[in-house]
């Protein structure tokens, strides 16, 4: 050790020009609302937390689980998991990381959920108990088989045990914001910026940046302008309208990555008459599978992505993108076929179409209102008399939940990194604790059975097969119409690189100078 | 009412030199000729006239029905002015992101803007004038209550009231007109009350009262015509304001359905593309809106000058 230090000293003296302090400034699209990583499940907070904290396991760029503070795990029976911890890890305050910290962190979650708009409780719901077997081993017992335990754990930031009693308010004042992650917390100005400093002792390797400043530009144009003027080195979430401009700029490079957010259409399948879908006899045409398939085939997904989204999307034929656990390679993106769509409509008894109003939000997803209008055009072309109404999200979602519409557009993020996180909320038969986001009221006993079984299957192979089966049933029934996955985008100065992430997080550690 | 002025059964005004309203001596025709002699007003008339004509004839002259989704093709989206469409016609002013021909969209958008502006101003005028007259003539508690309501309403920015109303009512032309009427009637009420208060103390009103004419007759046949000059000026300005307010609401995305864009919504649609250089989506509707507002204001200004009693004194 001493020798190493001496060598390092010698090296630093020997270098003629010590590298100047490297700093990185990133323009973010949304501000974190709290520094407490266990307070509020929302993108900006989680992204910020990942710069400072680690979980027992972390999700990689494609939401696959990777070892982090735990280097390995094993299951002794269906409900008992043993985690071997990474040795030699130190918190930012210098204290060593041990099993006690894991126990304290997981037990802190219920306390940190106080007043949370969306707490982390769902991620510890499956956990019955957590104990420190020895300083480097943690045992977690679950309530029944919990195939998603690792995913749940990837959401829980590990804090030092001394933080067990630190409240969210204290953290927001900068107290106890201590993790094991690549960067240390320096300062936070809410709604404006967060400053981070390098954690030289990071277990994943020394970060490339001495200082990282995360500035918030909620306004799309302001963010783009900051990038173009060189105020920031990098921005996230490029507005689609500015994509052309940034791509043309020789000083800027653009990174696209298919995100885990699926844009889809829900169709009313729960009622014989529907308020905004009326056949000539007044009945609800969306009950017929042929009609739903016709609608799906009438959508030119590639053109939609290319023209309306400026290429910032990936056409979808199922609920998770390529490369995800449970993705079904046999399900292709439905090919645009207006002729076949018309034939299907005629076969279903609507040779002259029917009346349909598509409702969509106009401030929730990128270009939501424009996508809805383009869909209106596509439906009109196969003879459906289509109207399009867009509403602010504040009004839209509550009315959609009250089933005031017949066809709605929505977006769903695959938080779990596998299909059940979307299949469950959107397609499972609506009832207490099930299908809460199923605003189309699709219902299939076969689908429900496959999904339910997958939830209790620990064997990865068998679980994947069940999830594929469920997906196939729902897609064959056209329970929803998948449109496309949004792309996450970043723009950065030439000379920087970022691999991109499907969860959209901007992690300074992964930004590298070429 | 062919001539705004005192009715024949009113006694002559006793106060020498007082002018109970210049319009009383200037018939509508005279007002019009005076207007046309004013060069700026003439320019205003020409601009507004052309725009109104274009709006009225939109279904005949527009190359495309921009409200018919089946006629649009988003593959033609964001083409610059002068581009050829996939079916061979030319987009003179380019297209927006949905492939709407901008020229057609502007002509149709003008229809909406004018309809909303004129209809809301007219309805607000009737309601406001009635309230103002009643307030002035009745006086006392009625006056106090009505005018406090007006005060409260005027103390809120009209955009705020309109936003709240539309959030509750939802989208649609009739709803936006209703929202604009609610936000505007108070201006008319206050204007009319002011003039009516002055008029109701004049001798001719006393004379009418002494002849035992009904209140209604005195209000509408005697007082109202003499309150018209300021009312006309306010109405003209308010039409322009209503059009602007509608454009603002549409710009914010809460006025009219997206498939029937008015000028404000067209500007909003194009706004996001300005950085990418697709200027035509915002600029052409913006210029149209500007011309319309300027035109109406030119007429309004000239009217104010002509109807100003002091000018002739």
Sort out which chain A residues have CB atoms less than 8 A from B258's CB and list them.
362, 369, 372-373, 388-390
Over the stretch B83-108, which tens digit does the pLDDT of each residue have? 988 778 899 999 999 999 999 999 99
CB proximity under 8 Å: B 36-65 to A: none
pLDDT > 50? residue B164: yes
- Residue B171 with chain A: CB contacts under 8 Å: 389, 391
Contact: A220, B73; criterion CB under 8 Å: no
Instruction: Answer yes or no: do B258 and A386 touch at CB < 8 A.
Output: no
Q: What is the pLDDT of residues A176-204, one digit of tens each?
A: 999 999 999 999 999 999 999 999 999 99
Spatial distance between the Cα atoms of A337 and A500, rounded to a whole number of angstroms: 33
Q: Residues of B with CB below 8 A from A386's CB?
A: 69
What ipTM does this complex have?
A: 0.77
- The separation between CA A356 and the C-alpha centre of its own chain, rounded to angstroms, equals 31
The C-alpha of A361 sits at a distance from chain B's nearest C-alpha, in angstroms, of 11
Percent of chain B with pLDDT over 90: 54
A389–B contact, CB cutoff 8 A:
yes
Q: Would you call A366 an interface residue with chain B, using a CB distance cutoff of 8 Å?
A: no
- Least CB-CB distance to A377: which of B69, B272, B273? B69
The residue with greater pLDDT, A395 or A491, is A491
Q: Copy the structure tokens of residue A100.
A: 């006690």
**pLDDT for position A416:** 83
Residue B10 confidence (pLDDT) above 70 = no
| Domains, chain A, with CATH or none | 23-251+494-513 (3.40.190.10), 258-487 (3.10.105.10)
Cβ distance A382 to B70 under 8 Å? no
- Residue A13: the pLDDT is 46
Please identify among residues 227-266 of chain A the ones whose CB lies closer than 8 Å to any CB of chain B: 239, 241-245
Q: How many CB pairs under 8 A join A and B?
A: 73
Strand duo A512-513 + B83-84: pairing: unpaired
Is the pLDDT at B277 greater than 90, yes or no? no
Is the pLDDT score of B14 beyond 70?
no
Chain B contact for A399, CB < 8 A? no
**CA-based R_g, chain A, Å:** 25
**Could you give the 3-state DSSP secondary structure of residue B257?**
coil
DSSP letters for A405-426:
-SEEEEEEE-TTSSTHHHHHHH
The alpha carbon of residue B116 is apart from the nearest alpha carbon of chain A, in Å, by: 20
- Report the alpha-carbon distance of residue B18 to residue A151 in Å, rounded: 87
Interface test mutation site (partner A, options B70, B86, B255, max chain A beta carbons within 10 A): B70
Q: Does residue B169 sit at the A interface (CB-CB below 8 Å)?
A: no
Count of positions (residues) in chain B: 313
Q: pLDDT band at residue A20, thresholds of 50, 70 and 90?
A: low
**Chain A touched by B113 (CB under 8 Å):** no
Are A388 and B98 in contact (CB < 8 Å)? no
Best probe of the A interface among B66, B68, B74, by most A CBs < 10 A, is B74
**Looking at CA atoms only, how far is residue B74 from chain A in angstroms?**
6
Which pLDDT tens digit goes with each residue over A216-247?
A: 999 988 999 999 999 999 999 998 888 888 98
**Chain-chain contact of B276 with A241 (C-beta, under 8 angstroms):** yes
Q: What are residue B175's DSSP bridge partners?
A: none
- Partner residue facing B258 (CB), from A225, A380, A388: A388
B257/A contact by beta carbon, under 8 A:
yes
Percentages (nearest 5) of helix, strand, coil residues in chain B:
70, 0, 25
Which chain A positions have a beta carbon within 8 Å of B167's beta carbon?
A: 392, 395
Name the more confident of B292 and A221: B292
Interface of A with B in 14-53 (CB under 8 A): none
Q: Under an 8 A CB cutoff, do B74 and A225 touch? A: no
Pick from A380, A389, A391: CB nearest B69 = A380
- Residue for token digits 């995800």? A324
pTM comes to: 0.84
Q: Residue B276 and residue A245: Cβ atoms within 8 Å? A: yes
Task: Identify any residues that bridge with A497 across adjacent strands, giving them in sequence order.
Answer: A512
Q: How far is A382 from chain B (nearest CA, A)?
A: 9
Contact (CB, 8 A) for B269 and B261? yes
Structure tokens at A338: 């207006």
Residue A400 has pLDDT above 80, yes or no: yes
Four-CA torsion A93, A97, A100, A104, nearest 10 degrees: 50
Q: Using CA atoms, how far apart are residues B248 and B157, in angstroms rounded to an integer?
A: 13
CB-nearest to B98 from A373, A387, A389 is A373
Mean pLDDT in chain B?
86
Contact assessment for residue A480 and residue A292, using Cβ atoms and an 8 Å cutoff: no
**Percent of chain A beyond pLDDT 70?**
96
pLDDT digits (tens, 9 = 90+) for A433-475: 889 899 999 999 999 999 999 999 999 999 999 999 999 999 9
Our CA-based measurement puts residue B293 at a distance from the nearest CA of chain A, in whole angstroms, of 28
Confidence of residue A261 (pLDDT cuts 50, 70, 90): very high
Beta-bridge mates of residue B260: none
Chain A residues touching residue B96 (CB < 8 angstroms): none
Q: What confidence category does residue A19 fall into, taking pLDDT thresholds of 50, 70 and 90? A: low
Among the listed ranges A197-201, A460-464, B18-22, B239-243, which one has the minimum average pLDDT value? B18-22
Selected residues 407-466 of chain A with any CB under 8 Å from a CB in chain B: none
d(CA A186, CA B84): 57
Per-window interface: A 203-232 vs B, CB < 8 A: 220-221, 224-225
Q: Does the structure show a pLDDT above 50 at B5? A: no
Closest CB from B69, B171, B273 relative to A386: B69
Least-confidence region, from A81-90, B127-136, B212-221 = B212-221
Smallest Cβ distance to B258: which of A363, A386, A390? A390
Using pLDDT thresholds of 50, 70 and 90, give the confidence band for residue A384: very high
User: Which of A244, A307, A362 shows the shortest C-beta gap to B253?
Assistant: A362
pLDDT at B197 over 60: yes
Residues of B with CB below 8 A from A307's CB?
74-75, 77
Binary contact (B257, A239; C-beta < 8 A): no
Beta-carbon separation of A373 and B259 below 8 A: yes
Question: Stretch A55-70: mean pLDDT, rounded?
Answer: 94
B77 has a chain A CB within 8 A of its CB:
yes
Of B212, B229, B233, B213, nearest to B221 by C-alpha is B213
Q: For residue A398, what are the CA distances in angstroms to A298, A393, A423, B168?
A: 28, 8, 21, 14
Closest CA to A502 of A285, A246, A314, A271: A314
Say what the pLDDT of residue B311 is: 59
- On chain A, the residues whose CB falls within 8 A of the CB of B99 are 377
Asked if A395's CB is within 8 angstroms of B167's CB, the reply is yes
Distance from CA of A106 to the nearest CA of B (A): 43
Question: How far is A259 from A238, CA to CA, in rounded Å?
Answer: 14
User: Residue B27 — pLDDT band, cuts 50, 70, 90?
Assistant: low
- Identify the closest residue of chain B to A380 by CA–CA distance: B70
d(CA A322, CA B144): 71
DSSP state of B28: H
Residues of B in contact with A374 (CB under 8 A): 74, 98
> Can you give the pLDDT at residue B310?
66
Q: Who has greater pLDDT, B5 or A389?
A: A389
CB contact under 8 A, A390 and B253: yes
Q: Which of A221, A239, A374 sits opposite B74 (nearest CB)?
A: A374
Q: What pLDDT sits at residue A240?
A: 86
- Among B74, B167, B171, beta carbon nearest to A389: B171
Nearest CA in chain B to A373: B259
Which residues in chain B are closer than 8 Å to A303, comparing Cβ atoms? 74-75
């Amino acid at each position: 050790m001493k020798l190493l230090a001496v060598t390092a000293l010698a090296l630093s003296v020997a270098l003629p020009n010590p590298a100047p302090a490297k700093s990185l400034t990133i323009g973010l699209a949304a501000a974190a609302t709290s520094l407490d990583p266990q307070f509020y499940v929302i993108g900006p907070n989680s992204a910020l937390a990942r710069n400072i904290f680690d979980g027992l396991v972390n999700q990689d760029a494609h939401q696959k689980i990777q070892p982090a503070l735990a280097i390995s795990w094993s299951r002794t029976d269906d409900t008992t998991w043993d985690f071997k911890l990474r040795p030699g890890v130190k918190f930012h305050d210098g204290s060593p990381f041990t099993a006690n910290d894991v126990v304290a962190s997981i037990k802190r979650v219920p306390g940190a959920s106080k007043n949370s708009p969306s707490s982390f409780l769902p991620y510890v719901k499956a956990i019955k108990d957590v104990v420190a077997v020895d300083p480097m081993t943690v045992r977690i017992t679950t309530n029944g088989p919990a195939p998603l335990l690792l995913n749940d754990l990837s959401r829980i930031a590990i804090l030092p045990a001394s933080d067990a009693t630190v409240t969210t308010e204290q953290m927001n004042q900068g107290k106890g914001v201590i993790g094991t992650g690549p960067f240390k917390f320096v300062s936070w100005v809410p709604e404006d910026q967060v400053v981070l400093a390098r954690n030289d002792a990071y277990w994943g390797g020394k970060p490339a940046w001495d200082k990282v400043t995360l500035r918030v530009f909620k306004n799309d144009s302001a963010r783009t302008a900051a990038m173009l003027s060189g105020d920031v080195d990098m921005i996230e979430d490029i507005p689609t309208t500015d994509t052309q401009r940034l791509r043309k700029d020789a000083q800027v490079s653009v990174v696209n990555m298919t995100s885990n957010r699926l844009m889809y259409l829900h169709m009313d399948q729960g009622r014989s008459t529907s308020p905004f879908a009326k056949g000539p006899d007044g009945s609800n045409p969306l009950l017929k599978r042929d009609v739903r398939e016709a609608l799906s085939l009438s959508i030119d997904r590639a053109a939609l992505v290319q023209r309306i989204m400026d290429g910032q999307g990936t056409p979808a034929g199922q609920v998770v993108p390529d490369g995800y656990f449970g993705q079904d390679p046999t399900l292709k993106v439905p090919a645009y076929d207006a002729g076949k769509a018309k034939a299907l409509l005629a076969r279903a008894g609507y040779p002259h179409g029917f009346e349909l109003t598509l409702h969509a939000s106009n401030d929730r997803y990128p270009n939501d209102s424009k996508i809805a209008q383009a869909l209106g055009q596509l439906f009109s072309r196969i003879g459906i008399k289509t109207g399009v109404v867009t509403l602010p999200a504040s009004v839209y979602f509550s009315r959609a939940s009250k089933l005031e519409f017949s066809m709605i557009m929505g977006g769903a993020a695959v938080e779990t990194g596998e299909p059940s996180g979307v299949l469950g909320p959107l397609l499972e038969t609506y009832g207490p604790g099930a299908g809460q986001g199923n605003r189309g009221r699709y219902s299939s006993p076969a689908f429900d059975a496959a999904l339910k079984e997958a939830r209790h299957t620990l064997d990865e192979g068998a679980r994947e097969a069940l999830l594929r089966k469920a997906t196939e049933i729902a897609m064959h029934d056209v329970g929803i119409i998948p449109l496309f996955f949004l792309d996450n985008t970043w723009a950065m100065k030439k000379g920087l690189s970022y691999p991109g992430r499907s969860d959209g997080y901007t992690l300074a550690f992964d930004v590298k100078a070429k | 009412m062919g001539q705004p002025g005192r009715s024949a059964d009113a006694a002559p005004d006793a106060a020498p030199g007082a002018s109970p309203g210049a319009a009383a001596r200037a018939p509508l025709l005279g007002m019009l000729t005076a207007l046309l002699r004013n060069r700026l007003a003439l320019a205003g008339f020409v601009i507004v006239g052309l725009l109104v004509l274009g709006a009225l004839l939109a279904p005949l002259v527009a190359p495309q029905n921009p409200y018919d989704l089946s006629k649009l093709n988003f593959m033609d989206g964001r083409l610059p002015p002068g581009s050829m469409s996939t079916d061979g016609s030319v987009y003179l002013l380019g297209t927006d992101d949905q492939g709407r021909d901008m020229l057609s969209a502007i002509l149709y958008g003008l229809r909406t803007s004018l309809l909303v502006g004129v209809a809301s101003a007219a309805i607000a005028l009737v309601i406001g004038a009635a309230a103002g007259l009643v307030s002035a003539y009745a006086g006392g508690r009625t006056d106090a209550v009505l005018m406090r309501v007006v005060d409260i309403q005027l103390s809120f920015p009209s955009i705020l009231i309109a936003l709240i109303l539309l959030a509750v009512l939802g989208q649609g032309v009739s709803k936006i007109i209703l929202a604009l009427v609610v936000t505007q009637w108070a201006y008319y009420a206050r204007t009319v009350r002011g003039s009516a208060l002055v008029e109701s103390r004049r001798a001719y009103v006393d004379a009418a009262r002494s002849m035992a004419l009904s209140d209604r007759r005195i209000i509408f046949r005697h007082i109202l015509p003499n309150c018209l000059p300021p009312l006309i000026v306010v109405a003209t300005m308010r039409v322009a304001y209503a059009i602007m307010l509608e454009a603002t609401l549409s710009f914010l995305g809460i006025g009219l359905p997206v498939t029937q864009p008015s000028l404000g919504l067209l500007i909003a649609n194009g706004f996001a593309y300005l950085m990418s250089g697709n200027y035509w989506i915002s600029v052409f509707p913006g210029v149209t809106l500007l011309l319309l507002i300027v035109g109406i204001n030119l007429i309004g200004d000239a009217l104010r000058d002509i109807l100003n009693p002091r000018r002739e004194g």
